[in-house]
Amino acid sequence: MRGFILLWLLLPLQCAAESAVWKVSKGQSELYIGGTIHVLSRQDYPLPREFEQAYRQAEILVLETDLAAMANPETQQQLLGKVMYRNERSLRDDLSAETYRKLVAYVAKTTLSLEILQQFKPPMAAMTLTMAELQRLGMADAGVDNYFNDRALREGKRLGQLETVEQQIDLIANMGKGQEDEMILSTIEELEQLPALMGDMKAAWRSGDMRRLERIGIAPMRDEFPELYRSLLVFRNNDWLPKIEAMLATPQVEFVLVGALHLAAREGVIQQLLERGYRVEQLE
C-alpha cells in the first residue's frame, strides 16, 4: 500500500535540466505554477533557482490555503474539535483488532505515547505518526509553501489562497473515511521505508519529473484508494482550475504553489491547462 503520506507531504541532489515550476500564458497574460513538498530538511535548501525566479517575477503569491490562519490558535482548536474523539470513544474503536495490534507494536518502537495517540481519529493519528518520524529523521523543517509564505509576509508581497481554512480542516478530518484500517496500515508500512520514499519523491520533484512522481505517488493511490485519489487530488484540481484561469485574466502575475502531486498525471493541473489551450513551459 502507498499513498497517505505522499498526499500531504503531499515533498541536495544534482540539478537536472528541468524543474517543478511552469510558466503558463495566453496572449499577454501569464502566471507561474510550482509543485511543492510541504515538509523538507535543511539539506534541501537552497531550493531550485526556478522557484526564486518565479517568485521574483510574481506580484501575488497564491497558496493552497492561508497558512497564517491555519496556525491561528482558534483554527487549531477548530481542527482538534474535528479530529479528536469525544466521550468514551478512542482510536481503538475505529480499527480492527489486527490493525490495532500492529499499531501498538509500531508505537512501542517510538517515543510516542499510545495514550495520547488514542485520542486522535485515524487521519490525525496517521499524521502524528508521520510527523514524529520525520522529526526523528531530521526531515521536518519548513517546506516550500511555508518558506515562500514567510518571505511574502516579510517583503509585503500580496497573498492569495485556493481554499479556505474550513475546507482544509474538512479535508484532514475526512481523509480516508471508510478505510481507517487501510490508512493506518499504509502509514506504518510507508514509515518503515520513509527515508528511501522521501529520497525518491524529492529527486523526482527537484527535477520536475512528473512521470516519475506519478509512478511513485499517484499510480499506487489511484489503484488502491480510488476514492481518496478523487477526493484529495482530482476534485480539488478541478475546483482550482477556474480560479487559476481567472488569475490569467488579470494583469497581475501570480506564482501559484500547490503540492507537486496536483501537477502530475492526466487529471493534473498542468495537463488540464494544456488541454484548455494555454501555453505551458517548464522552466529550466
- Distance, in Å, from the CA atom of 46 to the CA atom of 49, rounded to the nearest integer, reads 8
**Domain definitions of the chain by residue range:** 4-71+139-178+194-282
CA–CA dist 167, 149 (Å, integer) = 19
Q: Kindly give the confidence (pLDDT) of every residue in the chain, 284 residues in length, as a single tens digit, with 9 standing for 90 and above.
A: 445 555 445 433 233 347 999 999 999 999 999 999 999 999 999 999 999 999 999 999 999 999 999 999 999 999 999 999 998 999 999 999 999 999 999 999 999 999 999 999 999 999 999 999 999 999 899 999 999 999 999 999 999 999 999 999 999 999 989 999 999 999 999 998 999 989 999 999 999 999 999 999 999 889 988 998 999 999 999 999 999 999 999 999 999 999 999 999 999 999 999 999 999 999 98
Distances (CA, A) of 176 to 52, 78, 100, 151: 35, 20, 16, 33
Contact residues for 4 (Cβ-Cβ < 8 A; gap 6+): 126, 175, 176, 183, 186, 187, 190, 225, 228
Backbone angles phi, psi at 108, to 5 degrees: -65, -20
pTM: 0.91
Q: What is the DSSP letter of 47?
A: P
